[in-house]
């Protein structure tokens, strides 16, 4: 009953006309940005931060959440029509979505993606509503030692679950923490790594790094890969209608993948990409016609689409209840919240119920918008994909510039943006994952603060991190998560030998 | 002499960065009052971690994803200023110029010049559409930021 009352309170906020407009705008903008090949939810969210800067925190987060799941859905459109996923979380959608499009069933695939996203999103919001307050109650008892351990786990999980080198992931994370601690140390007033520059006394704004490493680096990468005007022909949309038999076929996969996706999203480091792959492979195994997966099976579109949207919602659980993001995308969301003056965490439910329940309620509305917007408008929205690449690249550049300058009014930050863009390009070329860097950038300061507070309380005794059972447990899991890629490698080698 | 692979070259660069970082970390002044943990400890841990990871990277064999893909030979055969890396360098120079000219020239003019110029440079030949789209977007952003969100953007040489 309490959850119902809280949800009604949330609807009171989410149904304010201005917030409805923000959800609509967020979902719409997210769908369009996510659709553009190369631009994922992180770039979409980073580009939106300057807009949310002056907003009420609840409205700002409502808009950002809309952008997030809109971008995930938008990615599926380019996956299906172009076989060029705009977002990693929709790669699995292209396995069957693109073959369907080639068979003249793009409309059907897009409609399945819209229904699956809607149902996946809606089921997972119910779970979010039920799980988040429970976890908040547990997290209230967390002290600085537990928080430090939790952040270490968040970082190691993101590193170990990335498909790139473990060592390179850890390097990216260390560099992210290094960037985060630049500026004046708030506990002692000591300057660290400012190189005598007054511009660096407050450290480096995370928006500069996020836009540089993701959006600008993507522009540079597209330029290197012949971004000068090669357009890819897209498949025609065709009919959006589904038969009753097809609805029956996809109902099971959508339901199962929604639940799986949500719990995958809750786990630190997992999220939409892993959720969608798990959903896809689970359905492939369960289906009687599993051998037709990859050739345009409708279940192969429904499962990853339900899972990725559900995982998106699931990733809000650690962010809202613990204040610790489990992925690069939610790290950017956390950064945006901090800019708006809201610190997520277990106390948020007590201190800012408007933000907490407002966002949850807005997700129900956002999912409806996602369906209403995408079903009738998809043939129209898909025309965005015809936008000439040179114009698109120039527009992204302008958005990056105004995003940074509009926040800091600093020419120095524009030059830093360029530097991070080049760094991001280098990271991409040489196989360094960017998500650990951005997550570490957001967590670095808080991590150091938690570590120092824990040591202050224990009088400098490092055993404090091991004496507390929760902290010890989290650190052990963090250590085990680093061993995961080695286990995976050994398993693949053993399988290869057996074959 | 054996040639260093990509990971080894990167590892050496990172090791140098780590050493420089550690040197700076050791120069962070101590807080006058005794504390269990001071400002310099965390940076020292980070510097040492990066150094250790550089060693690990040096020993790691590069995989296909660690080596940049070959560039399209067709793109490489273009005139020097249109080649892939030239496009990156010229875009970077344009961004730096934009940053330096933003205040004196103004947001609308500088952004339009940047957008239109780069689109044309990347190969977009419908100049009328180019100017109309970029100017439209820039003006929409400018008016939204200045009139609705009360964010000041430099006017430069234009009167508004």
A189 has a pLDDT exceeding 90: no
Task: Please report the ipTM that was assigned to this predicted complex.
Answer: 0.92
A82 has a pLDDT exceeding 80: no
Q: Which of A249-258, A288-297, A317-326, A357-366 has the highest mean pLDDT?
A: A249-258
A232 has a pLDDT exceeding 60: no
- Tokens representing A340? 């708006």
Residue A191's SS3 state is strand
Proportion of chain A above pLDDT 70, given as a percent: 95
Mean pLDDT, rounded, for A72-76: 81
What pLDDT score was predicted for residue A325? 82
Mean pLDDT, rounded, for A249-255: 93
Mean pLDDT, rounded, for A192-208: 88
Question: Are B110 and B97 a contacting pair, CB within 8 Å?
Answer: no
Backbone phi, psi, residue A191, to 5°:
-80, 135
The residue with greater pLDDT, A242 or B64, is: A242
Residue appearing with tokens 């990167």: B10
Contact B43 A226 (CB under 8 A): no
How far does A290 lie from chain B, in Å, by closest CA?
30
Mean pLDDT, rounded, for A32-53: 78
Q: How confident is the model at residue A228 (pLDDT cuts 50, 70, 90)?
A: very low
Question: Are A450 and A457 a contacting pair, CB within 8 Å?
Answer: no
pLDDT tens-digit readout, B15-52: 999 999 999 999 988 877 777 778 888 999 999 999 99
How far does A475 lie from chain B, in Å, by closest CA?
17
Strand-pair partners of A192: A183
Residue of B99, B137, B138 for testing the chain A interface, max A β-carbons within 10 Å = B99
In the A/B pair of chains, how many CB contacts fall below 8 A? 188
Contacts of B71 (CB under 8 A, 6+ apart): A224, A225, B84, B85
Domain that holds residue A149: 2-230+238-498
pLDDT tens-digit readout, B120-150: 999 898 999 999 999 999 998 888 878 877 7
Question: Are B95 and B87 a contacting pair, CB within 8 Å?
Answer: no
Mean pLDDT, rounded, for A430-444: 87
Average predicted confidence (pLDDT) for chain A: 84
How far does A128 lie from chain B, in Å, by closest CA?
33
**CA distances (Å), origin A480, targets A30, A174, A267, B57:** 36, 19, 14, 20
The residue with greater pLDDT, A498 or A193, is: A193
Cβ contacts (< 8 Å) between B91 and chain A: which residues? 219-220, 223, 397
- Among A263-277, A386-400, A404-418, the minimum mean pLDDT is found in A263-277
Mean pLDDT, rounded, for A298-317: 90
pLDDT tens-digit readout, B88-106: 999 999 999 999 999 999 9
Q: Calculate the CA A108 to chain-centre distance.
A: 27
Question: Are A298 and A96 a contacting pair, CB within 8 Å?
Answer: yes
What pLDDT score was predicted for residue A1? 65
What pLDDT score was predicted for residue A419? 96
Question: Are A398 and B141 a contacting pair, CB within 8 Å?
Answer: yes
Cβ contacts (< 8 Å) between B103 and chain A: which residues? 411
Residue of A186, A220, A226, A391 for testing the chain B interface, max B β-carbons within 10 Å = A391
Backbone phi, psi, residue B62, to 5°:
-70, 140
Distance CA A178, CA A204 (A): 11
Q: How confident is the model at residue A442 (pLDDT cuts 50, 70, 90)?
A: confident
Question: Are B144 and B92 a contacting pair, CB within 8 Å?
Answer: no
- Tokens representing A407? 């926040």
Question: Are B90 and A397 a contacting pair, CB within 8 Å?
Answer: no
Mean pLDDT, rounded, for A78-104: 80
How far does B57 lie from chain A, in Å, by closest CA?
6
Distance CA A28, CA A69 (A): 10
pLDDT tens-digit readout, A331-367: 888 888 887 888 888 788 778 888 888 888 888 888 8
pLDDT tens-digit readout, B52-86: 999 999 999 888 777 777 777 887 788 888 888 99
Nearest CA in chain B to A447: B42
Question: Are A446 and A151 a contacting pair, CB within 8 Å?
Answer: yes
Proportion of chain A above pLDDT 90, given as a percent: 18
pLDDT tens-digit readout, A143-161: 889 888 888 888 888 787 6
Distance linking the first and last C-alpha atoms of chain A: 56
Number of CB atoms found within 10 A of residue A193's CB: 17
Question: Are A363 and A128 a contacting pair, CB within 8 Å?
Answer: yes
How far does B1 lie from chain A, in Å, by closest CA?
24
What pLDDT score was predicted for residue A207? 83
Question: Are A48 and A100 a contacting pair, CB within 8 Å?
Answer: no
Mean pLDDT, rounded, for A98-113: 87
Distance CA A325, CA A154 (A): 7
Of A411, A429, A460, the CB nearest to B99: A411
How many domains is chain A built from?
Answer: 1
- Tokens representing A131? 């799980």
Residue B73's SS3 state is helix
Q: How confident is the model at residue A178 (pLDDT cuts 50, 70, 90)?
A: very high
Q: How confident is the model at residue A229 (pLDDT cuts 50, 70, 90)?
A: very low
pLDDT tens-digit readout, A361-404: 888 888 888 888 777 777 777 777 777 888 888 988 998 888 88
Contact A431 B63 (CB under 8 A): yes
Residue B61's SS3 state is coil
Radius of gyration of chain B (CA): 24
What pLDDT score was predicted for residue A141? 78
The residue among A174, A166, A151 whose CA lies nearest residue A484 is: A166
B14 has a pLDDT exceeding 60: yes
Nearest CA in chain A to B97: A415
């Amino acid at each position: 009953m309490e959850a119902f009352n809280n949800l009604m309170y949330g609807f009171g906020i989410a149904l304010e006309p201005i917030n409805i407009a923000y959800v609509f705008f967020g979902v719409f903008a997210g769908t369009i940005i996510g659709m553009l090949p190369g631009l994922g939810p992180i770039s979409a969210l980073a580009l939106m931060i300057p807009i949310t800067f002056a907003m009420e925190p609840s409205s700002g987060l409502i808009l950002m959440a809309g952008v997030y799941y809109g971008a995930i859905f938008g990615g599926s459109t380019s996956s299906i029509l172009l076989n060029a996923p705009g977002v990693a979380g929709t790669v699995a959608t292209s396995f069957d979505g693109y073959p369907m499009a080639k068979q003249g069933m793009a409309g059907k695939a897009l409609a399945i993606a819209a229904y699956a996203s809607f149902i996946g999103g809606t089921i997972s919001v119910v779970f979010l509503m039920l799980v988040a307050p429970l976890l908040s109650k547990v997290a209230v008892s967390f002290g600085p030692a537990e928080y430090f351990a939790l952040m270490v786990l968040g970082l190691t999980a993101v590193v170990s679950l990335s498909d790139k080198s473990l060592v390179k992931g850890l390097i990216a994370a260390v560099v992210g923490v290094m960037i985060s601690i630049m500026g004046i140390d708030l506990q002692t007033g000591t300057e660290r790594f400012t190189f005598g520059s007054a511009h660096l006394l407050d450290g480096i704004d995370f928006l500069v790094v996020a836009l540089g490493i993701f959006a600008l680096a993507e522009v540079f990468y597209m330029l290197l890969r012949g971004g000068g005007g090669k357009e890819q022909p897209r498949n025609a949309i065709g009919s959006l209608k589904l038969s009753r038999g097809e609805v029956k076929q996809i109902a099971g996969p959508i339901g199962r993948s929604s639940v799986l996706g949500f719990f995958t999203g809750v786990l630190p480091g997992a999220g939409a990409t892993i959720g969608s792959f798990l959903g896809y492979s689970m359905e492939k195994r369960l289906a009687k016609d599993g051998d037709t997966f990859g050739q345009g099976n409708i279940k192969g579109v429904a499962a990853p689409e339900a899972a990725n949207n559900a995982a998106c919602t699931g990733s809000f659980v650690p962010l809202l209840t613990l204040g610790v993001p489990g992925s690069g995308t939610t790290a950017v969301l956390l950064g945006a919240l901090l800019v708006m003056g809201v610190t997520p965490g277990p106390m948020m439910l007590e201190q800012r119920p408007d933000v907490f329940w407002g966002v949850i309620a807005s997700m129900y509305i956002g999912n409806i918008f996602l369906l209403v917007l995408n079903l009738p408008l998809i043939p129209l929205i898909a025309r965005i994909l015809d936008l000439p690449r040179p114009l698109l690249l120039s527009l992204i550049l302008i958005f990056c510039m105004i995003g940074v300058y509009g926040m800091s009014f600093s020419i120095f930050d524009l030059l830093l943006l360029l530097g991070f863009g080049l760094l991001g390009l280098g990271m991409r070329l040489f196989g360094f994952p960017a998500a650990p860097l951005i997550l570490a950038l957001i967590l670095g300061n808080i991590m150091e603060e938690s570590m120092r507070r824990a040591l202050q309380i224990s009088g400098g005794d490092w055993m404090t991190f091991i004496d507390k059972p929760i902290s010890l447990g989290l650190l052990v899991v963090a250590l085990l998560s680093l061993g995961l890629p080695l286990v995976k490698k050994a398993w693949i080698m053993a399988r290869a030998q057996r074959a | 002499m054996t040639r260093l692979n990509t990971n080894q070259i990167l590892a050496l660069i990172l090791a140098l960065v780590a050493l420089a970082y550690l040197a700076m970390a050791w120069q962070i002044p101590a807080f006058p009052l005794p504390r269990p943990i001071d400002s310099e400890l965390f940076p020292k841990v980070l510097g040492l971690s990066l150094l250790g990871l550089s060693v690990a990277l040096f020993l790691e064999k590069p995989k296909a994803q660690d080596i940049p893909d070959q560039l399209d030979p067709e793109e490489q055969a273009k005139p020097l200023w249109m080649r892939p890396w030239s496009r990156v360098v010229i875009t970077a120079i344009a961004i730096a110029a934009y940053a330096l000219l933003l205040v004196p020239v103004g947001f609308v003019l500088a952004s339009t010049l940047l957008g239109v110029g780069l689109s044309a440079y990347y190969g977009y030949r419908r100049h009328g559409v180019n100017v109309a789209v970029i100017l439209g977007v820039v003006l929409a952003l400018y008016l939204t930021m200045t009139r609705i969100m009360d964010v000041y953007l430099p006017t430069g040489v234009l009167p508004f």
